[in-house]
Amino acid sequence: MPLIGMREMLGKAYAEGYAVGGFDGFESLSIMALLAEAKEKRSPALMICAPGEYAALGPRAVAEVARVLSGLVGVDACLHLDHANTYEEVVEAISSGFTSVMIDGSRLSFADNMALTRKVAEYARDRNVPVEAELGAVGRVDDATHEGAGHTDDAFTDPAQAAEFVEKTGCDFLAVAIGNAHGLYRKAPSLDFGCLAKIRAATSIPLVLHGGSGTPEDQLREAVSLGIAKVNVASEISRAFNNVYIPAMQTGKIWWAAAKRDALAAMRSTIADWIRVLGSEGKG
């Protein structure tokens, strides 16, 4: 079964007022957790994988694992490149079989971010691969978190810039910075819904919320009502795995395959909760 793109998946979510969870999936266990739960809940299946996460397997192997497992489970699934920093990383991922990509130029100036995103969008469009971009800068909660620049308070997405950015780059989706951050929050975030409403009014494409882990349900639902069609979830998936697998292995009395089986169930439970909150059950 071939992997699918993200354009129709998020377009439907945006139009119908729900969101799709982008769940960390970079090897067989995390990918299987998402696919199995997506099939049970009849939810769209969207795997996100950053370049640093496929370091052990390489992008082509990750894409092949995702393709084979989606066929075995019987689920249409998208494999999305998360937080690519360079044009070359995008080209490598697309040539390896990724069916959607994100180019993150948030560390660059507005003009340079726009130029890089436009270059990526032009390359990807010729290959029918949709592109997510980021404007503003989604930071990180702590240095233990892999993604995101150092957290800053003045890096929110500017709605006026968003309109120009989307028009001139041709990106398909826009990741916004409205008080969200990567990692597990020490205290609940306070998302700026006024800013989000202005961004939606200034653009006409599905919006993306990074740093979903730990965001209160009421804030998530409000964000979805204002145009968020994709919410990235990584840290909660990692925590679900670690909380089961690490203690089991530390006992020294359990076969590692059994520990992974139980960790798989924990990841599925976390994914099921997110499918419920985002409203994507039955939308696959």
Strand 181-182 and strand 207-209: the pairing is: unpaired
Catalytic residue among 82, 104, 158, 172: 82
Give the 3-state secondary structure of residue 222. helix
For the chain, the distance separating the N- and C-terminal CA atoms, rounded to the nearest angstrom, is: 16
Token pair listed for 9 = 């998946």
Give the whole-angstrom CA distance, residue 116 versus residue 111. 9
Token pair listed for 144 = 């233990």
For the beta carbon of residue 4, count every other beta carbon within 10 angstroms: 19
DSSP 4: B
Give the whole-angstrom CA distance, residue 17 versus residue 14. 5
82 is catalytic: yes
| Residue burial 60-76, b: 16+ Cβ < 10 Å; e: rest | eebbebbbebbeebebe
Q: Please, are residues 33 and 47 in contact by the beta-carbon 8 Å criterion?
A: no
User: Which sign, positive or negative, has the C-alpha torsion 15, 66, 146, 104?
Assistant: negative
Strand 228-233 and strand 20-24: the pairing is: parallel
Geometric angle at alpha carbon 151, from 143 and 239, rounded to 5°: 45
Catalytic residue numbers, as ranges: 82
